[in-house]
Amino acid sequence: MKAIVTRRSFDALRLTLALVLLTYVWRIQDLVPGIAPLKLPTIATGAAIVLLLFDSTAQRHFGAACRHRVGQLIIWFALAAMVSAAASIDFGWSLDYLVKALLPALALAIVVPAGVFVAGDATMFAALQVAGAVFYCGAILTRFKVGADGRLGALIFYDGNDIGMLLVCTLPLCAYFARHASRALLRVLSVVAAVLFVFTIAKTGSRGAFLGLIAVGAYVVLRFRTVRVSTRLAVVGVSACLLLAGATTKYWNQMDTILHPTEDYNWAGKDDFGRMSIWARGVGYAEDRPLTGVGAGAFNFAEGTISPLARRQEYGQGLKWSSPHNSFVQVLAEFGFPGFALFLAILFYGYRAATRLARASLHRGPKARRRGELSQAHAAALAGYVVSGFFLSQAYAPYLYFVIGMIIGLDLTVRAEWQADDAELNAQLYTTQIEEAGLAAPEPAHGSLVWS
C-alpha cells in the first residue's frame, strides 16, 4: 500500500514559512509602511523554531534535510562561518553579522525543507516566490525613478544590481507556472509577472543581471528537456523581445561596455576601486589567512584596515571601504579556502540534485515530469545566481538558501512519493502473480510498504 502524508490546505507551519520568505527575501516589512515595528522577521523565526520543536512530522523532515548531502554541506558551511567569525580581524563585527544575517540565511536551507511535507508544498512556495517578486517590483517602480544614468539606483534594502539578480533567478518559475498553473488566469498572470520582471531588469541597467539573463535563457533552451524545443525557443524569444522593447538607448550603451572590458574602469590596473583590483585584494586576504579568512562579513573592514591602501588614511586621504562585488571572492576572503570549497560544493551538489531529479522524472509520466520541470526551474535559478552573483556581494543572500532549501525539499518529497508508488505497484504486481498462479496471497509484514 501507499504511504501518504496528508495535511490541511493551510496550517501554521505553512503560514510561518510564507512569512519567512516574504520577510527575509522580499522585505515586506520595509515595503509596507507601518509594519516595520512589528519585527516580522523575528516573529517568523521564533514561530518556525517553536513549530519545529512541537511538530513531530516537521522534526522528521528536518532530520532528513540534515542528512541530505546538500544539507550536510550547509551545516559544515555554518560551522566554517562560526570559525571564521571567531578568528575575525574584528570579532564583534563578525559575531553580530553572523547572528543577525548569516546564520538565519543559512538556516533557510534546512528549515524550509522541514516544512515541505508533500511535493505540492514546493509548488506553493514557488508561487509565493513569484508573488513576492511582483510585490517588490510594484513597490519600487511606483516609488523610485530611473536616474540620469538610466538606472534604478539604491532601492529598498537591495540596490539595482541585487534586485536584477533576484528577478533573473525568479523568471524560470514564471515559465513553469505559465505552463503548469492549475487555472488559465494564473497562467496569464505568470506571463504578466515575467513581463514585469524583464521590464524591471531593464530599468536596473545591471550588466550582471543581463549576463545572468543570457545564462538562464541558454539553460532553458539547452537543459529543459521536459519541454519541447519549440516551446523553449519561444519562451526565450519572447523574453528577448520584451527586453528589446523595454530597454532604453542608455541601457544598451551600458550593455555594450561588456564587449569592451579593457576600456572599463573595473579592468585591472585602471582604478584601485575597480572590481578587478578589489578582487585581487580579496584573493590576497585569503592568501594571508588561508584557513579562516578575514572573518564573516568583514571584507569591508579589511579594505579599511589591512589592505595595501589602508595607510592612505594616515595621511588624511579618504578611503572607500569597498564591498567585494563578487560572491566567490567574498567567501574566499572571509572564510578562507576551506569555506570557499564548501560554498562551491553547495552550489555544485544543489545543482546536481535538481538536475538529477529532473532527469529521473522523464520516464515517470506527466505528473512526475511536472515535478521535474519545477526542479529544473530551481536549477536554472542557480545558474542565474552563479553568473549574476559573480559581480555582486550576494554569497549569503537569503534567496540563494531558500532555493537550496526548495531543492532539498523537492528531492526528498518527490523521491519518497516515487518510492511509495513503486512499492504499491510491486505489491499489486505480486498479488496479481499469486492470483494467476491460483495461490493465496500472504499477509504483508507489519509496517512494511511492500509484500514480504
Angle, helices 398-436/327-361, rounded to nearest 10 degrees: 20
Residue 433: exposed, middle, or buried by beta-carbon count in 10 A (0-12, 13-18, 19+)?
A: exposed
CA 49 – CA 38 distance, rounded (Å): 18
What pLDDT score does 443 carry?
A: 56
Tell me the CA distances in angstroms from 382 to 344, 355, 388, one per residue in order.
12, 11, 10
CA 76 – CA 71 distance, rounded (Å): 9
pTM here is 0.88
Residue indicated by cell numbers 530611473:
146
154 - beta bridge partners?
159
Q: How confident is the model at residue 1 (pLDDT cuts 50, 70, 90)?
A: very low
Tell me the CA distances in angstroms from 281 to 309, 317, 340, one per residue in order.
10, 19, 16
Per residue in 274-333, pLDDT (tens digit) is 788 889 999 999 999 999 999 999 999 998 888 888 777 766 666 778 889 999 999 999
Q: How confident is the model at residue 8 (pLDDT cuts 50, 70, 90)?
A: very low
Per residue in 408-452, pLDDT (tens digit) is 999 999 888 877 766 766 776 767 767 666 655 555 544 443 332
CA 148 – CA 142 distance, rounded (Å): 17
| Coil, strand or helix at 154 | strand
Residue indicated by cell numbers 558551511:
77
